[in-house]
Amino acid sequence: MNAGHLVVESILTEALTAVQRTAIVDLCSAAHDEDFGLLFFFLPHDGQHFLGLIDGVLVAHAVCTLRHFVVDGRIPLRAGYIDAVATMPGLQRRGYGSAVMRTAGEHIRTHYDIGGLSTSRPSFYRRLGWRRWRGFLAARTEQGLEPAAPRGEDVVMVLTSTSTPPLTLGEQLSVEWRPGVW
């Protein structure tokens, strides 16, 4: 593919066409070498997708959904949670994923108290202003708080803004339970 000009578009999950959904699943599956076929089963309908397009072809993607963080059991935060960040293999390391994530970060800073994500590539996000959460992580379940950890080598990172209360990032952080939790 000739590298034309990247355009980042934003669209709600519920407004995506079947063709766009298939392109997102295919891109994420190829970029992560795992099956993303159930992505839209887990995403809420009000997710905000950021599509990096070159000449109308999807080359990068991220989605932001609302999660409810609670810090130290007393500070509720509306979190813009990022999932399914992907860039087409062969076009990685050209700034396309960064452009999509910068747009997603602007969206988070405008609409949420804080951003959150789980990643095995913290250096990529650190360059974009994300910081590692160092405190205890928990999932809120019907039975109460349960210790939670990201998968494998993943770490939880946050993006703060002017609406984020003062935090050390070493406090306890809990999130509502869902498959995969973080």
Structural domain includes residue 1 = no
pLDDT digits (tens, 9 = 90+) for 69-103: 999 999 999 999 999 999 999 999 999 999 999 99
Mean pLDDT of 93-118: 97
Q: Kindly list the distances between the CA atom of residue 43 and the CA atoms of 39, 57, 94, in Å, as whole numbers in the listed order.
A: 6, 22, 28
- Residue 151 domain flag: yes
Q: What is the CATH number of the domain that holds 40?
A: 3.40.630.30
Give a yes or no: residue 70 inside a domain: yes
Range of the domain at 75: 6-176
Give residue-wise pLDDT tens across range 128-157.
Answer: 999 999 999 999 999 999 998 777 778 999
| pLDDT, position 151 | 73
- Residue 182's pLDDT band (boundaries 50, 70, 90)? low
- On the question of pLDDT at 21 being above 90, the answer is yes
Instruction: Say what the pLDDT of residue 156 is.
Output: 96
Identify the pLDDT of residue 2. Answer: 46
Domain tally for the chain?
1
Whether residue 120 lies inside any domain: the answer is yes
**pLDDT > 70: what percent of the chain?**
96
Question: Whole-number mean pLDDT of the chain?
Answer: 93
Higher pLDDT, 92 or 45: 92
Which residues have C-beta within 8 Å of that of residue 129, sequence separation ≥ 6?
Answer: 105, 159
Categorize the per-residue pLDDT at 181 as very low, low, confident or very high, splitting at 50, 70 and 90: low
* 20 within a domain of the structure (yes/no): yes
pTM, whole model, 2 decimals? 0.92
Q: Is residue 181 part of a domain?
A: no
pLDDT of 180 reads: 62
Integer Cα distance of 98 and 3 in angstroms: 15
Residue 53 lies inside a defined structural domain of this protein: yes
The answer to which of 1-5, 43-47, 48-52 has the lowest mean pLDDT is 1-5
Structure tokens at 107: 């969206």
pLDDT of residue 1: 43
Confirm whether 10 is domain-assigned: yes
Among residues 176, 127, 178, 126, the alpha carbon closest in space to that of 155 is found at 126
Contacts of 64-68 spanning 24+ positions with Cβ under 8 A = 64/104, 64/107, 64/108, 64/115, 66/112, 67/116, 67/175, 67/176, 68/175, 68/176
Of 123, 151, 127, give the one whose Cα is nearest residue 34.
151
Please report the pLDDT score of residue 178 as a whole number.
78
